[in-house]
Copies of this chain bind each other. A is one copy, B any other.
């Protein structure tokens, strides 16, 4: 990290990379994901189309990279020693990360998984399982402490959490907020215990 092996030739332009991500986000805000086209991104970013295709294989991968940057600070599952506070912290953080454009970004990316099966695999591998693993880790620790009933499947609990979360982002009128984080935490704790 930092020290990329570099041979001859002009190096990749970090400026272009960020202009592409920023343009994509602005387009989603303005016109929705349906109005995001590679040509529009290129035009707004002041970048050639070829530069985009050199580094991303579709508009969905751009959106995914933007989403990943928004989630990059949430790399570590919380560990306070108690299930309840771990769960509350995790859900508050996650829901906070889904504010504003990020909700639309997630919607866009999930939409694309329905249009392109190859991208669906990428999304699951690169984003979804990473998020699920954090919750899994946290629950596993709690189970070791006896805070999760043995009869409950952790994967099912995780499905419930991410299911409701995605549902709110995709189909509900209102974005998930702090109140919702607590409501969901309550539900999870009740199902666990």
- Chain B nearest CB from A88 CB (Å) reads 17
| A187 CB contact (under 8 Å) in B33, B156, B171 | B156
- Report B-chain residues with C-beta under 8 Å of the C-beta of A164: 159-160, 163-164
Given contacts A168-B163, A172-B159, contact A32 B153 (CB under 8 A): no
| A171 CB contact (under 8 Å) in B33, B107, B110, B115 | B110
| A163 CB contact (under 8 Å) in B108, B163, B183 | B163
- Report B-chain residues with C-beta under 8 Å of the C-beta of A167: 159, 162-163, 166-167
Select from chain B the residue with minimum beta-carbon distance to A166: B167
- Report B-chain residues with C-beta under 8 Å of the C-beta of A163: 160, 163-168
Q: Are A34 and B166 in contact, CB atoms less than 8 angstroms apart?
A: no
Q: Are B168 and A159 in contact, CB atoms less than 8 angstroms apart?
A: yes
Q: Are A171 and B160 in contact, CB atoms less than 8 angstroms apart?
A: no
Q: Are A171 and B124 in contact, CB atoms less than 8 angstroms apart?
A: yes
Q: Are A153 and B108 in contact, CB atoms less than 8 angstroms apart?
A: no
Q: Are A187 and B183 in contact, CB atoms less than 8 angstroms apart?
A: no
- Report B-chain residues with C-beta under 8 Å of the C-beta of A114: 32-34, 107-108, 110-111, 170
> What are the interface flags for A78-119 relative to B under an 8 Å C-beta threshold, 1 for contact and 0 otherwise?
000000000000000000000000000001101111111100
Interface status of A43 (Cβ within 8 A of chain B): no
The residues of A with any CB-CB pair to B shorter than 8 Å are 32-34, 107-108, 110-117, 120, 124, 128, 153, 156, 159-160, 162-168, 170-172, 183, 187, 190-191
